[in-house]
Amino acid sequence: MCLLKEAWLSGKQHQKINDFGQRALVGKVCMDRNNSVKHYKETSQESQEETCRFIAELLNKKSHISENVEEVKLVKDMFPESESYTHIYHKYNLLTDKTVMAHGCYLSDEELNLFRETGASLSHCPNSNISLCSGILNVRNVLKHKVKLGLGTDVAGGYSASMLDAVRRALDSSKVLTIQDPEHETLTFEEVFRLATLGGSQALSMDDQTGNFEVGKDFDALRIPVKHLFIFIISDPFGETQVWKVVPFTDKNDQHPPPL
């Protein structure tokens, strides 16, 4: 979950997140271009001071990188002296084991090596990449370079906040790469499921706390005794949307399911 600067300053969202028992990394936006939100504006000095305070308290850094061809070209035009997009972040000490970069569709092998060396992570957002026609990340190549990798949604770049959707789209994207190149090794469901669980916790440097069911880690999951529930699954004609309605058994409905 990502929240903007106002939430970081007010603390109201912190309490809401805590009330729901959720875990979130609350972020601060730093940007001095494309000022489309007029009421959100601070001076460079204010931004620097708040960012330093934020980093001192949380340390995590998150941004986008090599999402689409036009973006990569724009960055090259802005920083013509730089070796690569990734080297710009590295030059300013923004690539660490607390850094998560979304997308990375057009990263070179050399850039992936730099990610591995610095401990920085990638977040694969296939729904967004497909929806915006940005590109397709070659996950197999990222894994080959031993870069930490998890799944993301990039809402509203994508149209779903569901991690299950991210799993499906990651598999679809890998299959597209195999269609384009039959030599490409398509990802398995087990590999993508790992990206959605342990991979995400590794990307956030939280794999010592969560990500799988090793003894001593948080039980970051839902335990639902389905034998005590009626579960209805309703799909649309194209099978894309599923609506689940879960109704507990009671003395009144233990023989006859309640109406939808």
Mean pLDDT for each consecutive 10-residue tract of the chain (260 residues)? 41 72 75 68 79 73 93 96 96 91 97 97 97 97 98 88 93 98 97 96 92 90 69 52 53 50
Two structure tokens written together for 99: 């850094």
* Whether residue 77 is found in the same domain as residue 187: yes
* Whether residue 79 is found in the same domain as residue 178: yes
- Cα(133)–Cα(128) distance, rounded to whole angstroms? 8
* Whether residue 192 is found in the same domain as residue 237: no
* Whether residue 6 is found in the same domain as residue 91: no
Could you tell me the residue range of the domain that residue 217 belongs to? 59-223
| Cα–Cα separations (whole angstroms), residue 80 to 3, 63, 76 | 32, 20, 5
* Whether residue 199 is found in the same domain as residue 80: yes
* Whether residue 145 is found in the same domain as residue 249: no
Domain boundary (41, 58, 75) is at 58
* Whether residue 120 is found in the same domain as residue 197: yes
pTM of the model: 0.79
Report DSSP letters for 234-260, one per residue.
EE-TTS--EEEEEEE--TTTSSSPPP-
Give the DSSP letter of residue 52. Answer: H
- The tally of domains found in the chain comes to 3
The size of the chain, in residues, is 260
* Whether residue 87 is found in the same domain as residue 197: yes
Q: What CATH number is associated with residue 187?
A: 3.20.20.140
* Whether residue 92 is found in the same domain as residue 136: yes
Please report the pLDDT score of residue 167 as a whole number.
95
| Cα–Cα separations (whole angstroms), residue 52 to 9, 56, 59, 162, 214 | 14, 6, 9, 32, 35
* Whether residue 199 is found in the same domain as residue 135: yes
- Cα(1)–Cα(34) distance, rounded to whole angstroms? 23
* Whether residue 174 is found in the same domain as residue 240: no
- Cα(243)–Cα(127) distance, rounded to whole angstroms? 20
* Whether residue 153 is found in the same domain as residue 47: no
